Amino acid sequence: MLKYILKRIFLVFFVVIGVTIVTFSTMHLAPGDPAEVIAVARYGDDLTQEQIDWVRVTEGFDSPVYIQYLKWIKHVMHFDLGRSLVTSHDILEEITIRLPATFKLAVLSLVISLCIAVPVGIVSAVKKNTVIDHLCMSAALLGVSTPNFWLGLLLIWLFSLTLNLLPSYGYGNFEHLVLPAITLGTSMAAITTRLTRSSMLDVLNQEYILTAKAKGLDEKTILLRHVLKNAMLPVITFAGLQIGFLLGGTVIVETIFAWPGIGKLLVDSIYARDFAMVQGCVLFIGILFAFTNLLVDITYAFLDPRIRYENT
Amino acid sequence: MSLLKIQDLKVYFNARGKTVKANNSIDLEIRENEILGLIGETGCGKSILGRAIVGLLPDNVKIGGKIVYRSEDILNLSENGLRKIRGKNIGIILQNPSAALNPVLSIGNQISEIYRYHENMGKKEARIRTAKMLEMVGIDPKRMHEYPHQFSGGMKQRVMIAMGLALNPGLLIADEPTKGLDPTTKDKIIDLICELVINKNMSLLLITHDIGVAEKMCDRIAVMYAGEIIEIATIKNILSNPQHPYTQDLLNSLPKKGLNQTAGESPSLSSPPAGCRFHPRCRCIIGKCLKTHPQLMETEKGTSVRCFLYGNN
Ligand SMILES: Nc1ncnc2c1ncn2[C@@H]1O[C@H](COP(=O)(O)OP(=O)(O)O)[C@@H](O)[C@H]1O
Ligand code: SF4
Ligand SMILES: [Mg+2]
């Protein structure tokens, strides 16, 4: 297993390098002169050529691209992502301030999603092609095809405007978290339910389930001992991927509920043309995603003996 | 004494609007302490017959007839009653051991759960029994914590044997236990199964592709063709005097490998040939073979054949 983990870490290393290159390029491959873009953000639309040249020299845009990249990497490695073009705040600090909000929302939505999806998916599979299964799958289909923004607005309308039970936006206590977490959680649950069901059905059709039946074990024992452990492997992987996505901020839901997470920071920065901040966010999200994936891979190794006892 | 008696067993699949007659009017008896071989080409319904005996058929199946074990008709049992028979009275080794073992449970757990479930044993006691069982099939009990992927094909088959015999059932069904194994391993596995079956006074239904294996181990041999038994005879009779043309072809092919030595295609089970199922491939065909379906009839002591060439069929 050590070999497997080392291999993954090695891979993540390359992924992170890739992420930095892509992030760096977005700044430079974007149409227009980056010096001009920054100058606009800094001095407004009425620019003189001197101002642009000044930015070009001070920001190092006159040196070759690879030198610029290496310089930037050096800063990044010292946890220096630069400063916002608009507010001059430290970018990493801005991001880490937003992290708790995003983290809370991510974890609660994932918990909600799994609490719905796993039991429903299991029941659906066990009661395959019955009314219960059809109901569950119709609900899941509805969930998949309902856009987040629409569900969010619907929930706001129902719970905030009509019933007056929960705040419609903002950040603070648990009540603020409920609606955005339900919006995200239920929409994710829809996909995870389908995955759980198909994974269960896949395992139920395996020959080792027939062996378990041939031993005379009862349904419950077979389900708990033989089916679940196998069927949950892909679900866990998927949940890991989802948490990776969620930690990168959920642009739509955070925007609808004015939730001050990383997704909202990213959107706000795009509107403010704060390219340095956008670059910082994208880099941060990319690296976070790579590391959550690594974590998922390692967890998977612990759960699947075929990897755990891989010959090294 | 008969241990298992199958009467007029019909197993029909409903697959995409067509009826696949996987087992058609099977009559078969397995006696106490007997090793009965079941041979026939791929797709003729051998595995389905084996699985029908323990009530392990897919959902899309219609089943009729009788399968009487000792005095109980298995087909009349509830799911609960079936569970008590499975493992305890009838053990089955399914074909393809690499797919038949759960990849995420240690092999020790996969054996000991049988004791824990059927005999309500504690963990420790079940583990001791598991160790004994592993030793019996020639696996170092220390390996009980290992997982299926850490075992070779032959070793996996030994694990399957240990599982099938864990509760000393009266009947063991072994479905192609030597398929995919190299010749040396094959011999060892067959010797192991037969030794255990004989020592424990059990009966064995040995489903096999390998007529050499059947010839070596079995007391009687049943030959299946297109979902039917076409000849059943003692090993002595079948070797000295094979009667059905298909059986003769099979035995003539013995020095070569495999069973598919008869010219022509395997018959379809959804629209089998009229008359004798074998007539399109038969070299002895006579007039009525085309229209009339022959019955399985005793032609001499210890031999029954489904063919118009013999007896008063
Ligand atoms: N689940 C199923 N649905 C429809 N037909 C099936 C199913 N399982 C097996 N069959 C059919 O039953 C026949 C007998 O299969 P089987 O007993 O596995 O043959 P074999 O003699 O090779 O063991 C095959 O022709 C196969 O097409
Ligand atoms: S009944 Fe006729 S066709 Fe069938 S095996 Fe005998 S001779 Fe051949
Ligand atoms: Mg088979």
Chain A residues within 8 A of B59 when measuring between CB atoms: none
Question: How many other C-beta atoms lie within 10 A of the C-beta of residue A138?
Answer: 10
Residues B132 and B280 placed together within one structural domain of the fold: no
| Residues A12-25: tens digit of each pLDDT | 999 999 999 988 88
Whether B41 is covered by a domain: the verdict is yes
* A211, A213, A221 member nearest B101 (Cβ): A211
Question: Are B60 and B80 in the same domain?
Answer: yes
Residues 6 or more apart in contact with residue A44 via CB below 8 angstroms: none
Range of the domain at B154: 98-168
Chain center to CA of B6:
13
| Per-residue DSSP letter, A65 | H
Residue B310 lies inside a defined structural domain of this protein: no
pLDDT of A312 = 44
The three-class DSSP label of residue A55 is helix
Cα–Cα distance, A85 to A273 (Å, whole number): 8
- Same-domain status, B189 and B273: yes
Per-residue pLDDT band for B312 (boundaries 50, 70, 90) equals low
Whether A211 and chain B come into contact, CB under 8 Å, resolves to yes
Tokens, residue A219: 């349904």
Task: Give the total number of structural domains in chain B.
Answer: 2
Q: How far apart are CA A182 and CA A253, in angstroms?
A: 10
pLDDT tens figures, B54-63: 999 988 899 9
Regarding whether B286 and B231 lie in a shared domain, the answer is yes
Q: Which helix (H) or strand (E) holds A91?
A: helix A91-126
- The answer on pLDDT for B191 being more than 80 is yes
Are B148 and B223 within one domain? no
Residue pair B205/B31 in contact (Cβ under 8 Å)? The answer is no
Judgement on whether residues B235 and B144 belong to the same structural domain of the protein: no
pLDDT in tens, B280-294: 999 889 989 999 999
pLDDT band at A30 (very low <50, low <70, confident <90, very high): low
Nearest to B3 by CA among B99, B67, B76: B67
Verify that B218 and B128 share a domain, yes or no.
no
Boundary (domain end) residue, out of B117, B137, B168: B168
- Would you tell me the crossing angle of helices A228-247 and A275-303 to the nearest 10 degrees? 170
Q: Report yes or no on B246 lying in a domain.
A: yes
Ligand number with the minimum distance to the CA of B275: 2
- B76 and B210: one domain? yes
CB-based contact A305 B113, cutoff 8 Å:
no
Partner B contacted by A220 (CB < 8 A)? no
Q: Which of B168, B196, B219 is the last residue of a domain?
A: B168
CA B250 to centroid of ligand 2, rounded, Å? 15
Of B9, B18, B19, B20, best ligand 1 pocket probe by most atoms within 8 Å of the beta carbon: B20
Mean pLDDT (whole number) for B142-164: 94
B269 part of a folded domain: yes
Range B196-202 average pLDDT: 93
Question: Are A214 and B94 a contacting pair at CB < 8 A?
Answer: yes
State the average pLDDT for chain A.
87
Tell me, yes or no, whether B83 lies in a domain.
Answer: yes
Shortest distance, CA A215 to any CA of chain B (angstroms): 5
Summarised one tens digit per residue, pLDDT across range A194-243 is 999 999 999 999 999 999 999 999 999 999 999 999 999 999 999 998 99
Q: B171-175 and B90-93: which strand pairing?
A: parallel
Please say whether the beta carbons of A277 and A40 come within 8 A: no
Which two structure tokens, joined as six digits, stand for A306? 């075929």
Q: Which tens digits make up the pLDDT trace of A87-132?
A: 888 999 999 999 999 999 999 999 999 999 999 999 999 999 999 9
Say yes or no: B143 and B128 in one domain: yes
Q: Do B122 and B156 belong together in one domain?
A: yes
Same domain, yes or no, for B269 and B208? yes
In a domain, B120, yes or no: yes
Candidates A2, A6, A67, A61; CA nearest to A34 is A61
Number of separate helices (H) and strands (E) present in chain B: 10, 12
CB contact under 8 A, A225 and B105: yes
Which pLDDT band, with edges at 50, 70 and 90, does A305 fall under? confident
Q: Do both B62 and B174 map to the same domain?
A: yes
- Boundary of a domain, candidates B144, B168, B192: B168
In a domain? residue B244 = yes
Q: What is the pLDDT of residue B233?
A: 96
Domain of residue B232, CATH code: 3.40.50.300
Decide if B94 and A210 are in contact by the 8 Å CB cutoff: yes
Inside any domain, residue B313: no
Q: What angle do CA B80, B86, B91 make, to 5 degrees?
A: 180
